[in-house]
Structure 1
Amino acid sequence: MLPTQIDLSGCRQSTAIVNGLITTVYVPIDDPTTRALDSIADDSLLDRWILGTHKDLIAPDPDTACWNWHGPLNSKGYGLIYVTRGITADRCFHVGAHVVAWTIEHGTVPRWALIDGRLHRLVLDHGCCGLDASCAGGTTCRHRKCQNVRHLELVTNAENVARGKGRRGERAMLVAARSRRRRRELGLSV
């Protein structure tokens, strides 16, 4: 995706570690999720996040050191926290609880990263899943409930899919390796 195809005027430029490398990232300034999470100083949101994880903040899972979310889950197994949009409570929507955890620790999650002259969509990866050989991945992955910020990593969407388990992850790993090799041949990356 070329940078000219995406309007970055609603983002501020910053730097972050993405896929293990320091790179330029773009953080959204004015979207509903950002506005809601900017109100993280609102004690009720912070209190609700703590209540959803408080058992594991005190005693993490002994096998994985994960802080598991004990609140509601979406259909894919990720923790959800309900957030009001703006100042009034007339509209409410849900955000991934791990996104709230990241925001509390690091600030708003960047949306895009500029890597090798191309913009890449960013997501948070639960790195604890990749370290657990017994985890089958997918919607049954127990690590999707993890709120431990030390287990979360900012990665490109392509990297996240490539790290996945199953046929889709294996295919994505092959495509990513081929793409990296081709970029090196063209002198576009190290």
Structure 2
Amino acid sequence: MSRRPVIERLMAKVVKETNAPAHRPDLAPCWIWTGYCNPFGHGNITLSAEEGRALVHRVTYQHAIGPIPKGLELDHLCRVPSCCNPAHLEAVTHAENVRRGRGGEAARARAATRTHCTNGHAYAGENYRITPLGRRRCRVCAREWASRKRTQMREGAAA
């Protein structure tokens, strides 16, 4: 008994949604994998006994677009890990994928690219320090905060 082709077996477990992702209305609707998903929410399919398992979104990308370029990984533009629509996948570097992500590592990567603090002071020269947790702190803002705090303390002591 021969097995059905991988892409045929894969598409049998895909539900094509009718609406585009809310935060990316420019994209086509997601293709949601309804089979087994790993702990990160990515679909898995068995290719064959010899080849083992593969991530579903990688299979659909390779089937529709071609090989994933060496050194790159696929980024879900829709931010839905179980989506396997090849139009929602872009081959990017790991650093870019992390920057675009949602988790703590992604937030740290985005923070590292900031050139100014929230009050608009440049993170340049001697205007910032690195905290023990590895975060940047604006010295101008720290001085302003300390000045306000001292004023509050003096006013509180005088009352």
- Scaled to the shorter chain, the TM-score interval is 0.5 to 0.7
The answer to whether residue 23 in structure 2 is matched with residue 66 in structure 1 is: no
Q: 1:93 aligns with which of 44, 52, 74?
A: 52
- Trace 1:120-131 onto structure 2 (pairs within 5 A): 122-129=72-79
Q: 1:107 to 1:79 in 2, by over 3 A?
A: same
SS of aligned partner of 1:128: coil
CA distance in 2, matches of 1:177, 1:100: 36
Q: 1:77 aligns with which of 41, 45, 59?
A: 41
- Partner of 1:160 in structure 2? 97
Q: 1:177 to 1:93 in 2, by over 3 A?
A: farther
- Partner of 1:148 in structure 2? 85
SS of aligned partner of 1:173: helix
The structure 1 segments of at least 4 consecutive aligned residues displaced by more than 3 Å after TM superposition are: 174-178
Amino acid at match of 2:13: G
Higher helix share: 1
CA distance in 1, matches of 2:94, 2:102: 14
- Give how far 1:176 is off: 5.1
Percent identity between matched residues is: 33
Gapped regions of structure 2 (runs ≥ 5): 22-28, 116-159
Higher strand share: 1
CA distance in 2, matches of 1:177, 1:82: 42
- Give how far 1:63 is off: 4.6
Aligned length: 106
Gapped regions of structure 1 (runs ≥ 5): 1-41, 113-121, 130-142, 179-190
Amino acid at match of 1:102: Y
Query: Is the 1:162–1:176 contact (alpha carbons within 8 Å) kept by the matching residues of 2?
Result: no
- Give how far 1:152 is off: 0.6
TM-score, normalised by the number of residues in structure 1 = 0.51
Which deviations, in whole Å up to 9, do the C-alpha atoms of 1:88-139 show, x marking residues without a partner?
Answer: x4x3411110000101111221122xxxxxxxxx11000012xxxxxxxxxx
- Give how far 1:171 is off: 1.1
CA distance in 1, matches of 2:68, 2:81: 17
Amino acid at match of 2:36: P
Query: Whose Rg is larger?
Result: 2
SS of aligned partner of 1:150: helix
CA distance in 1, matches of 2:92, 2:99: 11
- Trace 1:6-155 onto structure 2 (pairs within 5 A): 44-53=5-14, 55-56=15-16, 60-64=17-21, 65-84=29-48, 89=49, 91-112=50-71, 122-129=72-79, 143-155=80-92
CA distance in 2, matches of 1:144, 1:155: 16
TM-score, normalised by the number of residues in structure 2 = 0.60
RMSD: 2.1
Query: Is the 1:72–1:80 contact (alpha carbons within 8 Å) kept by the matching residues of 2?
Result: yes
